[in-house]
């Protein structure tokens, strides 16, 4: 029995996405077709009229490539759009933190960052958030890292996962999902501990959770990829239990759980109506404003006495 066009299209798109992220390199997300919003048939991406139902279609948004994210040496995916901006922001704040650490004379090997510098730049601190009501730290902490190995591992994962989630859910949705999962991770971390922590790993676990949540809509195919993703989750959480690494597993779990919920309930792909498209664009703009506002509040207290 033939599958309905919408289900067939979603299964094909999910399969391509996961093959690009976890399968053999060279296979990637296919953007040469899209779904007709009227009859759900799979049609050519550039079509202005559906050949099956005759419905008129809005012009499809341009993609940077029909073969998914480009890769350096066929291995390292080159981030695009929002993923690139987020990676750039992480690198920028790491360089700033490293410079301030060097200026204070507290620099260490492997690009280690001073705890005082991280605190001043907006690290998550349970005391500052609960007692000082500095809620902006739930956002700024996502973009800070404690050392070269820390940021290197996180950006490696983000370069691989970011373009895949962004292609599957669109750029506006990706911006919102990245921020929400990261913030939720640090909310759980704040509830669990009053200590200081930083890093993008809550959002990265959120991206894994989003892909797992989305896979529940795709039958046996989704079950296969879900098994691979759960193994990654186990590896990351087990790594966080090692005694010689200071890992915020509460932030990891918070990001993962929120990602699972969002991945299950947030529709994949482009919105079918102008209202839905405008809503997600507005939410993405709001997310950017929240991020910019959080760093503005951080800058205002940069030289304040430590609490």
12 and 43 in a single domain? The answer is: yes
- Structural domain harbouring 34: 1-78
> Rounded to an integer, what distance in angstroms lies between the CA atom of residue 173 and that of residue 77?
20
For position 103, which CATH number holds? Answer: 1.20.1540.10
Integer CA distances (angstroms), 66 to 27, 30, 31, 119, 241, in order: 11, 6, 5, 43, 41
Q: Identify whether the C-beta of residue 202 lies closer than 8 Å to the C-beta of residue 251.
A: yes
> Rounded to an integer, what distance in angstroms lies between the CA atom of residue 149 and that of residue 140?
19
106 and 68 in a single domain? The answer is: no
72 and 95 in a single domain? The answer is: no
Task: Supply the DSSP symbol for 34.
Answer: E
226 and 257 in a single domain? The answer is: yes
> Rounded to an integer, what distance in angstroms lies between the CA atom of residue 112 and that of residue 98?
7
The pLDDT value recorded for residue 25 is 42
210 and 231 in a single domain? The answer is: yes
> Rounded to an integer, what distance in angstroms lies between the CA atom of residue 101 and that of residue 50?
59
Helices (H) and strands (E) in the chain, counts: 11, 6
Q: Identify whether the C-beta of residue 127 lies closer than 8 Å to the C-beta of residue 194.
A: yes
The pLDDT value recorded for residue 108 is 63
41 and 126 in a single domain? The answer is: no
The pLDDT value recorded for residue 177 is 97
- Characterise 68 by phi-psi region: left (phi > 0), alpha (psi -120 to 50), beta (else): left
Among 31, 52, 78, which residue terminates a domain?
A: 78
| 161 found inside a domain | yes
Residues with a catalytic annotation lie at 201, 252
94 and 181 in a single domain? The answer is: yes
Integer CA distances (angstroms), 146 to 71, 113, 123, in order: 27, 5, 10
The pLDDT value recorded for residue 234 is 86
The pLDDT value recorded for residue 294 is 97
| 306 found inside a domain | no
| 305 found inside a domain | no
Among 46, 78, 110, which residue terminates a domain?
A: 78
CA dihedral over 115, 121, 122, 127, signed as positive or negative: positive
Rounded average pLDDT per 10-residue block, the chain, 307 residues: 49 53 44 57 68 66 46 55 92 94 75 90 94 95 93 91 89 96 96 92 94 83 77 79 74 95 91 90 97 95 72
- Looking at the structure of the chain, the number of domains it has is 2
pTM for the structure as a whole: 0.75
The pLDDT value recorded for residue 11 is 52
256 and 223 in a single domain? The answer is: yes
177 and 34 in a single domain? The answer is: no
The pLDDT value recorded for residue 245 is 63
Among 30, 60, 78, which residue terminates a domain?
A: 78
3 and 99 in a single domain? The answer is: no
């Amino acid at each position: 029995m033939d599958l309905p066009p919408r289900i067939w299209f979603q299964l094909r798109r999910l399969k391509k996405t996961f093959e690009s992220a976890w399968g053999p390199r060279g296979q990637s997300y296919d953007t040469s077709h899209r779904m007709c919003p009227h009859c759900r048939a799979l049609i050519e991406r550039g079509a202005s009229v559906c050949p099956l139902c005759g419905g008129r279609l809005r012009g499809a948004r341009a993609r940077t490539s029909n073969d998914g994210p480009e890769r350096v040496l066929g291995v390292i995916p080159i981030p695009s759009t929002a993923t690139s901006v987020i990676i750039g922001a992480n690198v920028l704040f790491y360089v700033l933190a490293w410079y301030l650490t060097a200026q204070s004379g507290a620099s260490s090997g492997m690009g280690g960052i001073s705890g005082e510098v991280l605190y001043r730049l907006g690290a998550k601190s349970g005391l500052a958030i609960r007692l000082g009501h500095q809620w902006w730290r739930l956002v700024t902490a996502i973009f800070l890292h404690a050392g070269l190995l820390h940021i290197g591992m996180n950006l490696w994962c983000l370069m691989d996962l970011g373009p895949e989630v962004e292609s599957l859910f669109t750029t506006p949705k990706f911006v919102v999902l990245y921020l929400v999962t990261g913030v939720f991770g640090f909310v759980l971390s704040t509830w669990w501990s009053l200590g200081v922590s930083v890093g993008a790993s809550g959002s990265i676990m959120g991206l894994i959770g989003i892909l797992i949540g989305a896979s529940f809509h795709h039958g046996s195919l989704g079950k296969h990829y879900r098994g691979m993703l759960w193994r990654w989750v186990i590896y990351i959480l087990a790594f966080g239990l090692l005694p010689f690494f200071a890992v915020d597993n509460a932030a990891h779990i918070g990001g993962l759980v929120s990602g699972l919920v969002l991945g299950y309930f947030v529709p994949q792909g482009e919105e079918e109506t102008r209202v839905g498209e405008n809503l997600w664009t507005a939410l993405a703009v709001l997310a950017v404003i929240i991020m910019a506002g959080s760093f503005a509040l951080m800058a205002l207290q940069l030289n304040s006495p430590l609490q």
